[in-house]
Amino acid sequence: MQLATRDQLEREVAGPTNNQQTAEHFTSDESNHDALSESIPLQSPQDLQIVARATNDAVRDWDVKSGRLSWPQGLESLFGYCRSSVPEEIAFWQKQVHPEDLGRIVTSIGETLAGNVEQWSGEYRFLHADGTYLLLLERALILRDAHGRALRFVGSLMDITARKQLRDQLCRSQRMEAFGQLAGGVAHDFSNFLTTILGYSDLILTEINRNSTIADHVVEIRNAAARASVVTGHLLAFSRRQALEPRVVEVNSLIVGLERSLLRLLGENIQVVCQLLDQNDPAYIKVDPTQLTQIILNLAVNARDAMPQGGQLCLQTAIVDLTSETEPVFICGHSVPGEYVVINVSDNGSGMSDEVKAHLFEPFFTTKEKRSGLGLATSYGIVHQSGGHIRIESEQDKGTSVQIFLPKVTPPTPSYKRPDTRKIPTGTETVLVLEDDISVRHMSIRVLRNLGYQVIEAANGDDAQRLIRASAGRQIDLLLTDLVMPQMSGRCFADWLRKVSPHTKVIFVSGYLADSLHPGDKIENGMFFLPKPFDPEQLARTIRHVLDS
């Protein structure tokens, strides 16, 4: 049987016309109609209402021949329309279907009516009486006469708006998690490359005339590597594998310290307003203050771009108690109940469309030229890694509000910190360097030997174990080991070494703290960690600090 065209179905949906083909398509004598009624026993309207009320669905009953449409259930409860004000014709349904979905649905129903199947299903948006659209899943039964021609189309309409939102949230989370794993692996490899570049650049600078042209070239190479390490940090932050340096800070002090920088950054036509917590009741959070500062500055730049003619940027801090009842919707999932400090960065700029909001946290998505698109994706990773959540509310022409939720913690106890000196510390102790990347291993060995240390090197855990057994009785003061290695992880080797040499101190080195590792391989509180990329000075100071601790 030839399928009905879209124009034919639209004429069918609109009701009877003078078109000869349409009239013939729906022609059915009374005897056929009576036969159908006898062969297919239909439930009473009361039965339909009971079934529909049990599922909270709406039911529409469309007489295909006359175009009459009735709503046995759900017109008021699901869609908010008063029954007396709704015309009993198919044109009402057609008018409420979203314009972008109408053509697709009309074509699909037309093909089904022209065929010989008894069931149809489809998803489309339908206008609620309050002006919003609901996403519906309609499943319909098609009643036909003895000749197979469609007589009635009875559909059950289910509201799946919330289900679609959860499904979209899950898809976004899965995409971000997949990209995070890729970004973490790439950034880890680049950290090795950058560590080598930084290390050998410094070694060259110590061996040549610092006033020479070659020294200037090496300095430029080193500066480029340092800038590249910032980009690597962004990738690691997005993947939530960055080795952050969290510490307890008072949130109001952090915001106040930013105010002067924001004024210079935003310009004279944007007013900065701070509405902070009561200073008599300070709130503390545990976060990497450098990373959080960068997040707020990035949000301020986004706000500035949304207010080209000027406006107001408002920074607010507050304390909220999140429970399962008061928890707002977070893209990154549910929160742990408890007290949170909220940093709210809002503007009265141009706002964002629903389409833009749907892609906000996707990596490399940007609406501006010459931007990487990693700003919000990186913020998402940093905040989530710090045990918090991020939430964005925006409406076109009404501004944007970004809320950062971070767990509230107890204030820190004061501690004494030794003053830093610029002279690179040296030593004579014995250090075992365990690193599978040959460039990083050789660079580290050269730096340590130049500083006076005795160095033993190994490319993997098995080699290191053989070296230690062969040199029984030799004291090893410190183990410098990569965390992630083939065959035997740095954590497993360190555990073995502590049994053989309990006094040996350990520094773990890695581009990130791999949260996918087995719990027995992870670093625990109190262990020393040196993140990649690092330069010779950072390596020297970390080793001296651990040996002297």
Residue that is written with structure tokens 């931007």 in the block = 371
Q: What is the pLDDT of residue 474?
A: 82
Task: Report, as an integer, the average pLDDT of 60-79.
Answer: 92
Q: What is the pLDDT of residue 302?
A: 84
* β-pair partners for 400: 347, 394
* pLDDT at residue number 45: 59
The model's pLDDT over 422-478, given as tens digits with 9 standing for 90+, comes to 578 999 999 999 998 888 899 999 999 999 999 999 999 899 999 888 887 788 999
Angstrom distances, CA of residue 80 to CA of 126, 129, 327, 388? 12, 5, 28, 38
Return the C-alpha torsion angle 164, 169, 172, 173, nearest 10: -140
State the average pLDDT over residues 297-318. 88
14 pLDDT higher than 70: no
**Model confidence at 293, in pLDDT bands (50, 70, 90)?**
confident
Q: What is the pLDDT of residue 23?
A: 36
What is the C-alpha separation between 26 and 9, in angstroms, rounded? 12
**Tokens describing residue 223:** 């500066």
Phi, psi of 345 (to 5 degrees): -110, 110
Residues 145-165: what's their mean pLDDT?
90
Q: What DSSP element (H or E) covers 165?
A: helix 161-207
Between 138 and 209, the more confident residue is 138
Distance CA 121, CA 57 (A): 14
Query: Distance of CA 241 to CAs 167, 292, 330, 495, 513, Å?
Result: 26, 16, 21, 23, 6
Q: In one letter, which amino acid is 41?
A: P
Q: How confident is the model at residue 517 (pLDDT cuts 50, 70, 90)?
A: very low
* Helix (H/G/I), strand (E/B), else coil: 419: coil
Give the chain's length.
549
> How far is C-alpha 16 from the chain's CA centre?
52
Candidate ranges 236-250, 263-277, 373-387, 518-532; pick with highest mean pLDDT: 263-277
Q: Taking CA 399 as the corner, what is the angle to CA 396 and CA 405, rounded to the nearest 5 degrees? A: 120
Do 477 and 430 touch, CB atoms closer than 8 A? Answer: yes
Query: From edge to edge, which strands make up the β-sheet containing 528-531?
Result: 454-458, 430-434, 478-482, 505-510, 528-531
CATH number of the domain at 430-548, out of 3.30.420.10, 1.10.260.40, 3.40.50.2300, 1.20.120.530? 3.40.50.2300
Please write the tens of the pLDDT for every residue from 357-384.
Answer: 776 666 555 555 544 445 577 777 778 8
Q: Tell me: the pLDDT tens digits for 173-224?
A: 666 666 666 666 677 778 888 888 888 888 888 888 778 888 888 888 888 8
Q: 379-401: per-residue pLDDT in tens? A: 777 788 788 888 888 888 889 99
Superfamily holding 6-159? PAS domain (3.30.450.20)
Q: Where are the alpha helices (DSSP H) in 315-437?
A: 354-357, 375-385
Return the pLDDT at 79: 93
Chain centre distance of CA 272: 28
Question: What angle in degrees, to the nearest 10, is found between the helix axes of 161-207 and 536-548?
Answer: 90
Query: Under CATH, which number does the domain 165-238 receive?
Result: 1.10.287
The pLDDT of residue 214: 86
Burial of 150 (0-12, 13-18, 19+ CB in 10 A): buried
Confidence of residue 36 (pLDDT cuts 50, 70, 90): very low
Structure tokens that stand for 519 in this block: 């719990």
Question: Once rounded to an integer, what is the mean pLDDT over residues 338-353?
Answer: 90
**pLDDT reading at 95 higher than 90:** yes
Mean per-residue pLDDT over the chain, rounded: 79
Please state, in angstroms and rounded to a whole number, the distance separating the CA atoms of residues 384 and 537.
31
Say what percent of the chain tops pLDDT 90: 32
Under CATH, which number does the domain 249-409 receive?
3.30.565.10
Residue 379: what pLDDT? 79
Asked if pLDDT for residue 526 goes beyond 60, the answer is yes
As given in the structure block, the two tokens for residue 486 are 């083939």
The predicted pLDDT at position 35 comes to 43
Mind spelling out the 3-state secondary structure of 60-74?
Answer: EEEECCCCCEEEEEC
CA–CA distance, 210 with 219 (Å, rounded to integer): 9
Distance CA(31)–CA(144), nearest Å, equals 13
- pLDDT winner (highest mean) among 102-116, 177-191, 402-416: 102-116
Helix 213-238, helix 375-385: angle, nearest 10: 70
Task: Specify the 3-state DSSP secondary structure of 322.
Answer: strand
Mean pLDDT value across residues 489-501? 89
How far apart are the C-alpha atoms of 63 and 89, rounded to whole Å? 9
The answer on pLDDT for 265 being more than 80 is: no
For the segment 285-309, the average pLDDT, to the nearest whole number, is 85
Q: Is a pLDDT exceeding 70 seen at residue 512? A: no
Same fold, 6-159 and 165-238: no
The reported pLDDT for the residue numbered 112 is 94
pLDDT greater than 70 at residue 19: no
Q: What's residue 525's pLDDT?
A: 64
pLDDT above 70 as % of the chain: 74
Top mean-pLDDT range of 10-14, 91-95, 171-175: 91-95
Element (H, E) at 345: strand 338-347
For residue 226, pLDDT beyond 50: yes
| Domain ranges (residues) in the chain | 6-159, 165-238, 249-409, 430-548
Phi/psi of residue 117, each to 5°? -80, 160
Could you tell me which residues come within 8 angstroms of residue 319 by beta carbon, excluding any fewer than 6 positions away?
Answer: 277, 283, 339, 340, 341, 342, 408
Q: Which residue in the block uniquely carries the two structure tokens 């908010």? A: 80
What pLDDT score was predicted for residue 505? 93
